[in-house]
Structure 1
Amino acid sequence: MSRFVMLIMWFIAVVGLTFAGVRFSGLLDSMLPPGEPEITRFSPEMTLPAQPNFYLVCGGGHCPPAIRKVESPVFPVSAAQLFSRIEELAAGMGGKVTFRNGETLHIRFVVRSPIFRFPDWVDLQASPVEDNTSQLLAYSRSVYGADDFGANEKRLKKFIAQLSALTAGARASQ
């Protein structure tokens, strides 16, 4: 092998080992602090970022006009039951809960990307629709970067699918 190829291989090994050390030491988490945004109030007047690094799930006129959103399905459980299921699923997302309000049925957590540990904020709230039915209000947004490359949309659509599966059994048991 030429010296140049050996030098390149050595450089790649050093950079890789340095990144692994920083990544797994928790240093990236302190280098990329999530901050603490204001508590999300789902409403048509809600302020959204100008850049496409967020995604919304809304229903019942709770959200502003936005391209990056999907209508929430109506779940066959009360808002309190939906909130319990939201908490179950949120625990499995690997995030750190920073806010929980059982009265407003609102939970917020910060979740980090698996490799580079970029933080994203996720707000989830159960909202009543009619007797024993409810909807999910959700807002997922990236702290860093002008684009999320679809990560927030993917996260919330996966969450809706899991929530739908978890509440489907409630319909049969009622």
Structure 2
Amino acid sequence: MMLKIVLSCVLLLAGVSIAAFILIGRERSWELIAGSPDTGQYDFDTAQRSATSNDALACSPGLCTDPDFEIGAFDDAPAIAIERLSQRLLAADPLARRVDDRKNPAKARFVTHSPLMRFPDVIHLEARAMPDGRTGIMAYAKAQLGESDMGKNRDRLKALLGKP
């Protein structure tokens, strides 16, 4: 009898939790649980990578240490390169939204969510003029929740940056 009561309470609590998650909305629910995924611009010069396997880093040669993969430099000026990448990201990902204040046109920051559960991820882009006159790109994507993103952020950056 006691087991039946405990099981009923657990099922009721699970049902109420699922209903609240649906009524509040998936994105808002995760924000209430874990806080805003937007914690400000990633500092490519000093910031540490995630201690878990839920992030990805891509850079043009010489711009960062130990990227997951390198990307070629762009011929556009830094502001134009960031704008083009931003437009490409927004066109490819209907769940992405730009969250930076746009004060620095060589940087952009986006929050996006996984399609089903709406787990939040943040994407940082930064462009820098290279000595050869081209523009180098640095891109960092990180899941806010969990210890592994199963390679989703790496795949996301590869798609954005045109890497096979």
Q: TM-score, normalised by structure 2?
A: 0.74
Question: After superposition, what is the alpha-carbon deviation per residue over 1:112-163, rounded to whole angstroms, capped at 9, x for unaligned?
Answer: 00000000000112222232x212210000000100101001000000118x
Instruction: Find 1:29's aligned residue among 14, 27, 30.
Output: 27
| Matched ranges for 1:156-167 at <5 A | 156-161=157-162
State the match for 2:64 in structure 1.
63
Alpha carbons of structure 1 residues 36 and 79: separation in structure 2 relative to 1, 3 Å: closer
State the match for 1:7 in structure 2.
none
More displaced, 93-102 or 142-151? 93-102
Q: Which runs of 5+ in 1 are unaligned?
A: 1-14, 163-174
More displaced, 56-65 or 136-145? 56-65
| Matched ranges for 1:8-157 at <5 A | 22-23=21-22, 27-33=25-31, 34-43=36-45, 45-65=46-66, 69-92=68-91, 93=93, 94-103=95-104, 105-129=106-130, 130-131=132-133, 133-157=134-158
* Aligned-residue RMSD, C-alpha: 2.6
Q: Report the alpha carbon displacement of residue 30 of structure 1 after superposing the two structures with TM.
A: 1.5
Separation of aligned partners in 2, 1:107 and 1:136:
11
The letter for the 2-side match of 1:119 is P
Please give the secondary structure, in 2, of the residue aligned with 1:101.
coil
Q: Report the alpha carbon displacement of residue 50 of structure 1 after superposing the two structures with TM.
A: 0.7
Please give the secondary structure, in 2, of the residue aligned with 1:121.
strand
Question: After superposition, what is the alpha-carbon deviation per residue over 1:76-130, rounded to whole angstroms, capped at 9, x for unaligned?
Answer: 2222221221221132223121104353511101000000000000011222223
Q: Report the alpha carbon displacement of residue 65 of structure 1 after superposing the two structures with TM.
A: 3.1
Q: Which runs of 5+ in 2 are unaligned?
A: 1-14
The letter for the 2-side match of 1:121 is V
Alpha carbons of structure 1 residues 20 and 136: separation in structure 2 relative to 1, 3 Å: farther
State the match for 2:7 in structure 1.
none
Contact 1:59 1:137 in 2 (8 A): yes
State the match for 1:172 in structure 2.
none
